[in-house]
A and B are shown apart, each in its own frame.
Chain A
């Protein structure tokens, strides 16, 4: 049993919604326990500045941000080295599923705001971003699902949260492209043996598969036949 009563391989309660914003072309909210992310997609649209455009494909731009009030001690607004790195790995996790070659000379902008942070913020951000891209009608090969696994008190557990994160020994976020069985985001910090690493990666992948089912369900509900909002 874990601090919050979960089993070792159990995700936190998840809530997901698509079409949560009026202005963005596509949007989604993804909540994993106390971590909440909202994503808004604009585009494909004209590229500014012009010199960034690519002749044969759309460029994908991702921005991960954390609200100042999202953490216990206020986090300074504006980009940090951490947020720039996370924006980059999120982009690299999404590119494989997008048909960017369908929209040459355009930009697809994905803005993600972490409103509340309790570990795995990059995973919640990615889950929201994938749903928002689908909601925007951007052609995709598949969704991308993300979650983390790690080690706390010597135990390998799924979806580390709260005290498990602050006192934990290892955190390993993964993003997964289910159709190709490909891991498109992989980071790790902490100490582990090779055998532990393999177990943790497999567990994180299993978590991603569960999240993938939730993402599909939310999209199907929104776009089921006869949905008047969408016609």
Chain B
């Protein structure tokens, strides 16, 4: 088990500092590369400090859900690779990897940034399925924001595979990708904050996550120059007061804008 000196981290925070000397509202250095996986329709590698995440978008033809016959399908999945941390093991998904995938999914889905109606091929029969698979390569905290950025960058850089219509069936040509992008507008991002000893801070390190009282992830997106909120998720064995939540919403608005600027459209 990874051990962290919670008292040490709390003491540093009490002195108004952080372990890596960052300001409380400051993110670590973020590096985003897109098109890192040629076998995927879209992909991105994101590093936030020593945290590293790769997301890949694959597409296929499938059947729509009965309650939305004219819409494509989005599936987000996350794997915490055993090479990323001594805590991660192969086997069934951990509850935190399920949570991560669902929180990333929620921000993308709820922001309505992808026009799923445009991913319908034949109503009630065939639609595009969009799979976003997230691999956590190295874990030094704040996996949700890294995974969110990687997913959105992978989607924004994706090129649709060619669709071949046969007599009464469809085929996907992965060798010859079209130049067509996914129908996407707006960029949803997740911003995560933790509370340690009453202090709220952005972009937690792994050791800060191990010492935290609670965590709050807030999803925002841009809509015609205005910022809107689209998802929230509290984590950890603690809570927040209403005032603390209000302060986090302010920070999420500001930090979300900073992160959005790092995403390259197309």
User: Which A residues have a C-beta under 8 Å from some C-beta of B?
Assistant: 81-82, 84-85, 87-89, 92-93, 95-96, 172, 177, 180-194, 197-198, 201-202, 205
Contacts and interface: CB of A to CB of B under 8 A. Distances in A.
Given A85-B98, A182-B239, A192 B245 contact: no
Pairs A-B, 9 closest by C-beta atoms = A182-B239, A188-B232, A184-B239, A186-B234, A95-B237, A189-B110, A88-B95, A81-B98, A183-B239
B181 interface: no
30 contacts: A81-B98, A81-B102, A88-B95, A88-B99, A89-B234, A92-B234, A92-B236, A93-B239, A95-B238, A96-B239, A172-B232, A180-B239, A181-B241, A182-B240, A183-B245, A186-B216, A186-B234, A186-B240, A187-B234, A188-B229, A188-B232, A189-B231, A190-B110, A190-B230, A191-B223, A191-B229, A193-B226, A194-B249, A201-B242, A202-B242
B235 interface: yes
Given A190-B230, A193-B229, A201 B245 contact: yes
B185 interface: no
Nearest to B253: A194
Contact of B249 (A87, A89, A197): A197
Contact of B95 (A84, A185, A190, A202): A84
Contact of A96 (B226, B235, B238): B238
B111 interface: yes
A147 to B, nearest CB: 15
Contact of A191 (B112, B242, B249, B250): B112
A183 B232 contact: no
A186 B233 contact: yes
Interface of B: 93, 95-96, 98-99, 101-102, 106, 109-112, 214, 216, 223, 226-242, 245-246, 249-250, 253
Contacts of A182: 238-241
Nearest to B106: A189
Given A81-B101, A84-B95, A205-B242, A191 B230 contact: yes
A181 B245 CA distance: 12
Contacts of A93: 239
Among A92, A180, A193, the most chain B Cβ lie within 10 Å of the Cβ of A92
Nearest to A172: B232
Contacts of B110: 189-191
Contacts of B249: 194, 197-198
Given A95-B237, A183-B242, 5 more contacts: A87-B95, A88-B99, A186-B232, A189-B110, A190-B110
Given A177-B239, A183-B241, A183-B242, A194 B229 contact: yes
A141 to B, nearest CB: 12
Contacts of A202: 242
A201 B239 CA distance: 14
A198 B230 contact: no
A94 to B, nearest CB: 9
**Which of B110, B111, B250 is the most central at the interface, judged by chain A CB atoms within 10 Å of its CB?**
B110
Contacts of B229: 188, 191-194, 197
